[in-house]
Amino acid sequence: MATVSKYRNSRGATLYRVRFRTPTGQQTDRRGFKTSREAKAFAAQVETSKLRNKFVSASAGRVTIGELGPAWLARQCGHMKPSGFRTLDSIWRGHVEPRWGSVPLGDILHTDVAGWTAELVTHYSATLVRTAHSVLARILDDAVRDRLLASNPARGVKLPGRPARRNVYLTPEQLQHLADDAPVAYRSLVLLLGVGGLRWGEAAALRVCDVDFLRRRVQLHRNAVCVARGSSSAP
C-alpha cells in the first residue's frame, strides 16, 4: 500500500511524500505535495490504477512523440499500399513531427491537440487535417496499449467534416467529342475510361492478355500507382 509521510525541503517548508510500489514490485516515490490531502489523494489514485491494471509510471510520460513516431510508421509499412504509406509518411514529416516531435507524452493535453487541428483547418483541407490527427492519435493509441499513457488526449477532438463530393459526368456526345479531339494514339483509351469507368491506375496497368476482344470484356487484375518518382503495380 502507498504511504504518506512529511518532510522538509531545503528552504524549511513542510511538504509530503508518497511512497509506493509499481506493479513490477519496484519501490518508488512522488514528492512535493503541499498538503496531506493532496498526497493521500495521489496515493489512492496509485492504488486504484494498479487494481484496474492501468498504472502508468511517471518516467513513461517523458517519452516523446518523436521517439515513437518512426517505429509506428515502420509498423504500418507492412500492411499498406505504397501510395497510402507515402501519404502517412509525408503527413508525419510535414505536420505531426514538427509540432509534436519534441513533446513528452505526459505534456500533451486534449486542448492542445484541439488547438493544433483548429490551426491546421485554416491552412489545409479537411482531409489533410483528419489524416494528420489520425497519425497523432494512432501513435498515442499504441502508447496507451504499451502503458506509457493512461488515456489518449487526442481522442474526442472535434474534426472538420468531409466535404460532399460532387461528381460530374460527361454526356455521350461530350465523351465522343473528347475522344475525337484527342491524339489518335489515345482515342481508344479515352473511350475505355469514359465508357468502362476505369480509374487511371487500372487502365495504366492493363495488359493485352486482360482484354477479350471477342467477348468485348476487360478484366481488371492490377492497379498501377505512382510512389514518389517511381511506380508500382499492385494486384
In whole angstroms, what separates CA 223 from the centre of its chain?
A: 25
Residue ranges of the chain that CATH labels 3.30.160: 3-55
**Whether the predicted model's global pTM rises above the 0.95 cut:** no
Q: What separation in angstroms does the CA of 211 have from each of 26, 48, 148, 206?
A: 68, 66, 54, 8
Give yes or no for residue 25 having a pLDDT over 90: no
> For residue 108, what is its C-alpha cell?
500533451
Higher per-residue confidence, 97 vs 223: 97
Give dist(CA 15, CA 8) in Å, integer: 6
Look up cell 507492412; give the residue. 78
Give dist(CA 78, CA 96) in Å, integer: 21
Residue ranges of the chain that CATH labels 1.10.150.130: 62-145
Q: Which of 84, 88, 94, 30 is nearest to 56 (CA)?
A: 30
The CATH number given to 3-55 is: 3.30.160
Give dist(CA 220, CA 206) in Å, integer: 7
Q: DSSP states of 111-148 as a string?
A: HHHHHHHHHHHTTS-HHHHHHHHHHHHHHHHHHHHTTS
Residues 55 and 32 sit within 8 Å (Cβ to Cβ): no
Higher per-residue confidence, 101 vs 50: 101
Look up cell 498501377; give the residue. 224
Higher per-residue confidence, 49 vs 133: 133
User: Tell me: the pLDDT tens digits for 57-115?
Assistant: 766 678 899 999 999 999 998 888 888 899 999 999 999 999 999 999 989 999 999 99
Torsion of Cα atoms, 137 then 139 then 140 then 143, to 10°: 160
Look up cell 479531339; give the residue. 181
The CATH number given to 62-145 is: 1.10.150.130
> For residue 22, what is its C-alpha cell?
509499481
> For residue 124, what is its C-alpha cell?
489545409
User: Tell me: the pLDDT tens digits for 160-190?
Assistant: 988 777 888 899 999 999 999 999 999 989 9
Higher per-residue confidence, 53 vs 133: 133
Give dist(CA 31, CA 16) in Å, integer: 6
